[in-house]
């Protein structure tokens, strides 16, 4: 009978990924990358906390035990914005940032979107000083939240950078969006105008790339809720991912 350890996107597999990173590359936060406080070789570890923030606490503990620094972006919605969890993760040496989605919340109205952004940012700054931000993709929305910055400038809010718009083409980007490390199930999760030279399908593929040490850097995105703690959790989230992937393909076909 298969156990949780036999599947991809489990907390066991996440631990293996972190082991590979910790023994091969130094890690940096997003703010350190933006401020150029890093060596030539590094792993930039980012986590988008879309839901189930307790999972983020679990991944943060694993990273902390292995000496890994990471950046955690929390949404502003009530079920995710949990100051007590955010402060615990911050105390482990990780960075906390704002996972904004205000243009979608404002139905594409930039003026209303920036008002919401400023209000939510104030709530985050009451927990800790936010240095970097990252858009939430919201694939079922027709609005790209990054477009807010076509009208406004996030630097006016004392933000150093945005996790998609402020990174360089030299980064080798790998995201677990859609339950794979390639872009086949992603609508918005990419660095604009960036062509990736390396791909991975499974987490084992990504681990092999890391342990091979051929790349100078890795920019890795995970969604902590995707890394399941038990088989029931794994089955539920796998089913949800597969359903969302089907919807994404329909949306992509309609948009083209």
Mind listing the pLDDT tens digit for each residue in 149-166? 999 999 999 999 999 999
Q: Each residue of 22-69: pLDDT tens digit?
A: 999 999 999 999 999 899 999 999 999 999 999 999 999 999 999 999
The single-letter DSSP state of residue 139 is T
How far apart (Å, rounded) are the C-alpha atoms in residues 75 and 130?
13
Compute the average pLDDT of residues 177-202. Answer: 71
Q: What is the pTM of this model?
A: 0.90
**Cβ atoms within 10 Å, residue 65:** 12
Burial of 27 (0-12, 13-18, 19+ CB in 10 A): buried
Domains of the chain: 4-185+197-255 (3.20.20.370)
Contact assessment for residue 175 and residue 5, using Cβ atoms and an 8 Å cutoff: no
More confident residue, 145 or 2: 145
Give 225's strand partners.
none
Gap between the Cα atoms of 249 and 155, Å rounded: 35
CA distance 94 to 113: 28
Based on its alpha-carbon atoms, the radius of gyration of the chain, rounded to whole angstroms, reads: 17
Q: Residue 145: which of 190, 192, 188 has the closest Cα?
A: 188
Instruction: Return d(Cα 146, Cα 165) in angstroms, integer.
Output: 8
């Amino acid at each position: 009978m298969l156990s949780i350890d036999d599947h991809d996107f489990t907390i066991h597999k996440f631990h293996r990924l972190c082991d590979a990173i910790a023994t091969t590359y130094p890690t940096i936060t997003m703010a350190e990358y933006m401020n150029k406080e890093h060596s030539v070789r590094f792993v930039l570890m980012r986590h988008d906390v879309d839901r189930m923030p307790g999972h983020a606490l679990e991944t943060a503990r694993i990273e902390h035990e292995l000496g890994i620094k990471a950046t955690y972006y929390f949404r502003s919605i009530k079920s995710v914005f949990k100051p007590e969890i955010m402060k615990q993760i911050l105390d482990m040496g990780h960075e906390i940032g704002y996972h904004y989605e205000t243009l979608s919340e404002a139905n594409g109205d930039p003026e209303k979107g920036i008002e919401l952004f400023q209000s939510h940012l104030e709530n985050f700054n009451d927990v800790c000083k936010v240095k970097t931000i990252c858009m939430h993709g919201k694939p079922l929305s027709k609005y790209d939240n990054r477009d807010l910055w076509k009208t406004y400038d996030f630097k006016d809010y004392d933000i150093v950078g945005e996790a998609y718009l402020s990174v360089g083409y030299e980064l080798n980007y790998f995201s677990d969006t859609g339950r794979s490390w390639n872009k086949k199930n992603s609508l918005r999760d990419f660095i604009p105008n960036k062509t990736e030279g390396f791909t991975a399908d499974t987490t084992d593929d990504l681990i092999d790339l890391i342990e091979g040490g051929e790349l100078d850097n890795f920019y890795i995105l995970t969604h902590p809720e995707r890394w399941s703690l038990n088989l029931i959790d794994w089955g539920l989230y796998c089913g949800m991912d597969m359903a969302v992937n089907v919807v994404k393909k329909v949306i992509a076909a309609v948009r083209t």
